[in-house]
Amino acid sequence: MTKRITILGSTGSIGKQALEVVSEQPHEFEIIGLAAMSSIDDLELQIKQFQPKLVAVYDEKKALELKERIKGSRTRIVSGMEGLIETATLDEADLVLNSVVGSIGVLPTLSAIRSRKNIALANKETLVVAGALIMEEAKKYGVKIIPVDSEHSAIFQCLQGEASNTISKVILTASGGPFREREKRDLIDVKFHEALKHPNWSMGRKISIDSATLMNKGLEVIEAKWLFDVNVDKIDVVVHPQSIIHSMVEMEDSSVMAQLGLPDMKLPIQYAFTYPKRLKGNIPKLNLKEIGQLSFYEADLDKFPCLALAYEALRIGGTMPCIVNGANEVLVDYYLQDKIGFYDIPKYIEKAMNKHEVFQYKNIDEILEVDRWVRDWILSQLR
3-state helix/strand/coil string of the chain? CCEEEEEECCCCHHHHHHHHHHHHCCCCEEEEEEEECCCHHHHHHHHHHHCCCEEEECCHHHHHHHHHHCCCCCCEEEEHHHHHHHHHCCCCCCEEEECCCCHHHHHHHHHHHHCCCEEEECCCHHHHHHHHHHHHHHHHHCCCEEECCHHHHHHHHHCCCCCHHHEEEEEEEECCCCCCCCCHHHHCCCCHHHHCCCCCCCCCHHHHHHHHHCHHHHHHHHHHHHHHCCCHHHEEEEECCCCCEEEEEEECCCCEEEEECCCCCHHHHHHHHHCCCCCCCCCCCCCHHHHCCCCCEECCCCCCHHHHHHHHHHHHCCCHHHHHHHHHHHHHHHHHCCCCCCCHHHHHHHHHHHHCCCCCCCCHHHHHHHHHHHHHHHHHHHC
At residue 1, does pLDDT exceed 90? no
Lowest-confidence segment of 91-95, 198-202, 217-221, 357-361 by average pLDDT: 198-202
Q: Are residues 199 and 328 in the same domain?
A: no
Instruction: Let me know if residue 269 belongs to a domain.
Output: no
> Tell me: the pLDDT tens digits for 123-168?
998 999 999 999 999 999 999 999 999 999 999 999 999 987 889 9
Tens digit of pLDDT for each residue in 272-331? 999 999 998 888 899 999 999 999 999 999 999 999 999 999 999 999 999 999 999 999
Q: Given a cut of 90, is residue 29 above it in pLDDT?
A: yes
* Domain interval for residue 343: 319-383
Q: Quick one: pLDDT at residue 331?
A: 97
Q: What phi, psi does 179 have (nearest 5°)?
A: -110, 20
Q: What is the CATH number of the domain that holds 334?
A: 1.10.1740.10
316, 334, 357 - which closes a domain: 316
pLDDT band at 202 (very low <50, low <70, confident <90, very high): low
Q: Residue 344: inside a domain, yes or no? A: yes
What is the predicted pLDDT for the residue at 101?
85
Do 78 and 206 sit in the same domain of this protein? no
In this predicted structure, what is the pLDDT of residue 197?
Answer: 80
Same domain (yes/no): 238, 337: no
Same domain, yes or no: 205 and 169: yes
278 is a domain residue: no
Residues 108-125 pLDDT 10s: 999 999 999 999 999 998
* Whether residue 141 is found in the same domain as residue 172: no
Q: How many domains does the chain have?
A: 3
pTM: 0.94
